[in-house]
Structure 1
Amino acid sequence: MIIDPSTLGPRQCYRLLISTVAPRPVAWVSTRGVDGSLNLAPFSFFQAVSGAPPLVVISVGQRAGASKDTLRNIEDTGEFAINLVTEELAERMNLTSGDWPPTTSEFALTGLTPASCEVVAAPRVAESPVSLEAKLAQLIPLPDSTYTLVIGQIVRWHIAEGYLAPDGLVDIARVRPIARLGRDEYVKFGEVFEMKRPKA
């Protein structure tokens, strides 16, 4: 079957895309508004885009024709944190994806603990074994789209005791992060295998 995306409605095109580009890591983004309010929301349009300097990108859409709290807070403050979502945190992550009013703190809603960051004013999720502090590097509104790319520069890593491997890298097999698929589906961390790059 060949599908022309121009024949699909926006929702149908979105659903087909997320069922194709999968699995996707989940960025659990925590922000602080200029009024001090705390926000926490998951985004699966998320990826690393540069090693030095360390840059990540998340793509943030609109909700009901307006900017989401996450994007507004990042625009206003230039700061955010990204927290990895483990299997144990999956249900609470899903709860933070709801369409809650701006006055609702997802930290209070889920019973999660906002922990202080070292550089940014945004909190991190204390229960997450790996968190990244980020400063806004660039905002890119996408043409003919309701999405905005948020490029952030990582200024601090927070890695819980026991989650850093002897080689200085995150022990991702111990973190066991979940990933997003299509529909309402997620996938648990599976088998790890290693392949060395060939040498010329």
Structure 2
Amino acid sequence: MLSIKPEELTERDNYKLLIGSIIPRPVAVVTSLSEEGVLNIAPFSYFNIVTSNPPIVSLAIQRKSGVMKDTARNILAKKEAVIHIADEENIQNINETAANLESTESELSRTTFTMTQGAVVSVPLIDELSIKMEVSLYEHVPIKTENTVTADLLLLKVETYHVKEELYHQGRIDPDKLNPMSRLAGNDYAALGKRVTLKRPD
């Protein structure tokens, strides 16, 4: 077995090792608004649950050459966003939102998505996606390497859930009807595959 120290790798090689090992990863499709009112849509797979009491999710957004991404900047400025869960039906449109656009351009123009105003936040929701969470900024944790901020860890508190009725049964989400997509490495995504059900030991 190989033993590799992170400090012996380049940043890019660390990235490739991590995204190839920690799979599959859930994909958050995040909408946010700039201070100028430009709608930003972007997918992120450094995303997960932190706690259910209160309901908080995490979103880690890498900086590029020390520059904060539009989504992080928007959330820090407006203190709100909407997180949508990526699904197979919409993955082509979702992939289009990963394009590198200027902050004055909206990714919406690259998709056929339609939008609805949020109930609690000022940020619009994507109609076509089945699960949406209106969130507020709970905490921002700058991630540093040698005193340089390289990423922004955002803890986001869920203010309102929106779930398509056909997915929701007795407080549970039907995974087959949601049909979520997860992120692998490179250009690859994965749909739900074989499931194994195991009862937890007493």
Take 1:85 and 1:189, find their aligned partners in 2: how far apart are those partners? 12
Partner of 1:60: 61
Whether the aligned pair in 1 keeps the contact of 2:87 and 2:129 (CA below 8 Å) is yes
Partner of 1:195: 198
Take 1:72 and 1:168, find their aligned partners in 2: how far apart are those partners? 34
| Counterpart residue identity of residue 195, structure 1 | L
Take 2:91 and 2:12, find their aligned partners in 1: how far apart are those partners? 24
Partner of 1:170: 173
Between structures 1 and 2, the one with greater strand share: 2
Residue from 137, 146, 153 that aligns with 2:150 = 146
Take 1:6 and 1:176, find their aligned partners in 2: how far apart are those partners? 38
| Counterpart residue identity of residue 162, structure 1 | E
Deviations 1:48-102 (A, max 9, x none): 0101100000100113431111011001100001011111111111111111111
Take 1:2 and 1:185, find their aligned partners in 2: how far apart are those partners? 26
Q: Give structure 1 stretches of 5+ with no counterpart.
A: none
1:93-172 alignment runs, 5 A limit: 93-144=94-145, 145-165=149-169, 167-172=170-175
Whether the aligned pair in 2 keeps the contact of 1:136 and 1:151 (CA below 8 Å) is yes
Whether the aligned pair in 1 keeps the contact of 2:132 and 2:163 (CA below 8 Å) is yes
Please give the secondary structure, in 2, of the residue aligned with 1:81. Answer: strand
Structure 1 stretch 87-96 or stretch 43-52: which is displaced more? 87-96
Shift of 1:193: 3.2
Question: 1:186 aligned to 2:184?
Answer: no
Q: Give structure 2 stretches of 5+ with no counterpart.
A: none
Partner of 1:6: 7
Whether the aligned pair in 1 keeps the contact of 2:25 and 2:45 (CA below 8 Å) is yes
Find runs of 4+ consecutive structure 1 residues off by over 4 angstroms. Answer: none
| Counterpart residue identity of residue 94, structure 1 | N
Take 1:20 and 1:143, find their aligned partners in 2: how far apart are those partners? 23
Please give the secondary structure, in 1, of the residue aligned with 2:167. Answer: coil
TM-score, length of structure 2 as denominator length: 0.94
Question: 1:28 aligned to 2:29?
Answer: yes
| Counterpart residue identity of residue 177, structure 2 | R
Shift of 1:39: 0.4
Identity of aligned residues (%): 33
Whether the aligned pair in 2 keeps the contact of 1:27 and 1:82 (CA below 8 Å) is yes
Take 2:173 and 2:82, find their aligned partners in 1: how far apart are those partners? 17
Deviations 1:80-125 (A, max 9, x none): 0101111111111111111111121112221211211110111111
Please give the secondary structure, in 2, of the residue aligned with 1:66. Answer: coil
TM-score, length of structure 1 as denominator length: 0.95
Whether the aligned pair in 2 keeps the contact of 1:31 and 1:39 (CA below 8 Å) is yes
| Counterpart residue identity of residue 43, structure 1 | F
| Counterpart residue identity of residue 179, structure 1 | S
